[in-house]
Amino acid sequence: MAADISGPDVLGRAVEPGDVAGRPQGCPGDRVPHVGDLKPFGRYVMNDVDRVGGVPVLMNALLGEGLLHGDALTVTGGTVAENLHGLAPEPIDGTVLRRFDDPLHPTGGITVLHGSLAPEGAGLGRDVMLLTDGRFSGGTTGLCVGHIAPEAAEGGPIAFVREEDRVTVDISARTITLHVDAEELRARRAGWRPLAHTFPEGVLGKYVKLVRSASTGAVTG
């Protein structure tokens, strides 16, 4: 993420031990440097980004570095590259948005993890580790692994983690591993039933029925 507002995070998709199927060969964050000096960990806010030209300045810089699909069609009917050409954004300012040859960090703030704890996904911050199948705000600090999927409510492995279980998060290897053998995990799952939904009807009831895992975009339908 070039303009990282939330700090270092890790998102992931968990798989069975030894299963590497579906793992991406490289996260976009491996190629896109962190250039936005933005709060809560930076010095500036989005109003400052607007002052130096706004998001089009950043998009144009990404396009120039070959990090944006300029041929992608947009709602205007034109491509990303065509829209940016029409806007003629100013060059990146070098302070609020750092130049790509002088980034805050060489890689972005989002990393994808794979492992036995999150068969479909997870997310990260730093210092004291929090593991959750929920999300966290842009102001979250500490080592935070969120968006673990499938969620506990769907019977994901995180539902069966117990006190004193060991979990290893290896950011370099992009893995998150629950050190509980398969037989023990099956025993813990025995008799598990999902909780009844608080809103069985109405708009929220419809959402609960249709929404999909965060690992596939949390889309409905």
- List the catalytic residues: 137
Segments of the chain assigned E as strands: 9-12, 110-113, 129-131, 143-145, 167-170, 175-178
Alpha carbons 67 and 1: distance in angstroms, whole number: 11
Which residue is associated with the tokens 């339908």? Answer: 221
Residue 96 sits at φ, ψ, to 5 deg, of: -65, -45
What are the φ and ψ backbone dihedral angles of 126, each rounded to 5 degrees? -150, 170
Q: Token pair of 107, please?
A: 């890689």
List the one residue out of 161, 213, 113 whose CA is nearest residue 123. 113
Closest alpha carbon to 64 in 94, 95, 99, 107: 99
C-alpha torsion sign, points 167, 169, 173, 174: positive
CB burial of 96-118 (b: ≥16 within 10 Å; e: otherwise) equals bbbebeebbeebbbbbbbbbbbb
Q: How far apart are CA 215 and CA 221, in angstroms?
A: 15
Q: How far apart are CA 201 and CA 124, in angstroms?
A: 34
